[in-house]
């Protein structure tokens, strides 16, 4: 098990991640007290459905989505006095 202080971990994070990926246990400490452990995350290898139309029927866009804003709202957004 390798214990490194936070300052060293910040400077060598990439190297520590590589060591954790290689199976070495890496612990990050503050003032010599262990705080956290770097560990490998098991990737979710299930294929995601990224096909066209995936969100069809799941969301709705209002018919007036791109309609001009009312003058009073536009004035407030643009910082003009009423």
Nearest one of 38, 34, 43 to 14, comparing CA atoms: 38
Q: What is the DSSP string of 1-21?
A: -EEEEHHHHHHTHHHHHHHHH
Give strand pairing partners of 68. none
Find the mean pLDDT for residues 76-82: 81
Give Cα separations from 67 to 7, 39, 64, 78 (angstroms).
53, 50, 5, 17
Dist CA 49 CA 60 (whole Å): 20
Whole-model pTM?
A: 0.53
Q: Residue 11 — pLDDT band, cuts 50, 70, 90?
A: very high
pLDDT of residue 82: 59
């Amino acid at each position: 098990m390798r214990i490194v202080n936070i300052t060293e971990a910040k400077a060598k994070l990439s190297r520590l991640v590589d060591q954790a990926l290689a199976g070495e246990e890496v612990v990050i400490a503050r003032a010599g007290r262990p705080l956290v452990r770097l560990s490998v995350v098991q990737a979710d290898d299930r294929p995601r459905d990224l096909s066209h139309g995936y969100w069809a029927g799941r969301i709705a866009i209002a018919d007036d989505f791109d309609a001009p804003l009312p003058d009073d709202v536009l004035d407030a957004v643009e910082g003009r006095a009423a």
